[in-house]
Every structure is written in structure tokens, then in C-alpha cells.
Amino acid sequence: METFYTVEKKRNIYLLKRSRSSIEINGHSRPAAFASSPSVTFFVPAALGASVNFKNCFATNPERRVNVTSLKINPYSFSLGGAGGTFTLTANANFNIRAENMELTTFSKPFMMNLVRKTYSLCNVTACSVTPGPVVFFLPIFIPKSHSILTPQSEYFAAIKMSESRTNQIMCVSFEYPIINWT
């Protein structure tokens, strides 16, 4: 019996799932004869997401730090006023995370305009409770057209932070991403 794979979209995230039928990418079903080979390489279009460069920024206590190891934007890039996108952060924690929220701040460069701030309940962006080990956060983002003061094509800056108290920041990551067009 042959093994096949499907691409499934959940919460704006594309997942590759093993099945016993066919492979479906972007709504088109195809036979997956290559799926049973021992070494398989999947080429996923850039529209399905892309890894971006990021920086881990300040944490109050380096021993109690949630260290982000990868950051993806899906789709890459998204547009103002469109369906928005999702920031997916993969991280490692060496302690139980007691924080209740994550905060996203994003704005256009170079003049810090088009500011969007959003607070996410931790249990809405990952499975709770968060114990030591790897953890993945899914943060949906939508930037309305009304927030575009300059041009529809712009570079944006974002910072995502998590704190256990006002004085104990345990995660901070910053990155830049493009906004391509209006919808």
C-alpha cells in the first residue's frame, strides 16, 4: 500500500500530513508515487511562508529566557487590508512559562508610522500549559489599509515580547518584513 501526503491549512498555517490517498497542493490532487522513496524533498512555494532573519533581544534574566530558534511568515509577504498573515515562532524554554500574554508591536520603516499593537492570550497562540522544551507560537497579524499613511509598498519592523511580570521579560524577538501591495 502506498503512502501519500496532503497539505492542510489550519489557522493560516500549512501542514504536511501523511495519508493513504493522494497529494494535494494548492487545491490540486496529484498521485504521490515519490512519497514512498526513502529520501523525499518537498518544494513549497514561497507563498506558503518563508523563514526570516530575526534577533533575540533583551531578556531580564538570561537563565529564564524563552529562546526563539526560528521565525516564519505565512504567506510571505502579505498585503495591507488583505487576509493578513501568521508569524510562527519556534522556541525553546527551560522552565514552565507562567506568562499570560504575548505582545506584538509592528510599524512601517523608516519613520515608525502605521503602528499596530496587539496582545495575544498565550493559550490562544500555543497549547497551554507550556512546559520546558520546544514550543511553537502562532500569531495571526492583520494590518488594515487605514493604517497605511505613506505608501502601500513598505518595509515593516516587528517586535514580539513575553513577560511574566512588569519587570521580568522572558522573551523578545525583533525582525523586519515586507508588505507588498494593497488588496
Q: Which of 11-20, 31-40, 72-81 has the lowest mean pLDDT?
A: 31-40
The pLDDT tens digits for 65-99 are: 899 999 999 988 777 777 788 999 999 999 999 89
- The two counts, helices (H) then strands (E), for the chain are 1, 13
The pLDDT tens digits for 108-167 are: 887 777 788 999 999 999 999 899 999 999 999 887 776 555 555 578 899 999 998 888
170 in the same domain as 140: yes
More confident residue, 183 or 36: 183
In CATH, what number is assigned to the domain containing residue 90?
2.60.40.770
- Domain of residue 37: give its range: 4-44
Task: Give the global pTM.
Answer: 0.68
| Nearest Cα to Cα of residue 118 among 103, 138, 140 | 103
89 in the same domain as 34: no
What is the CB neighbour count within 10 angstroms for residue 20? 8
Identify the burial level of 157 via C-beta atoms within 10 angstroms of its C-beta, where 0-12 means exposed, 13-18 middle and 19 or more buried: middle
Domain tally for the chain? 2
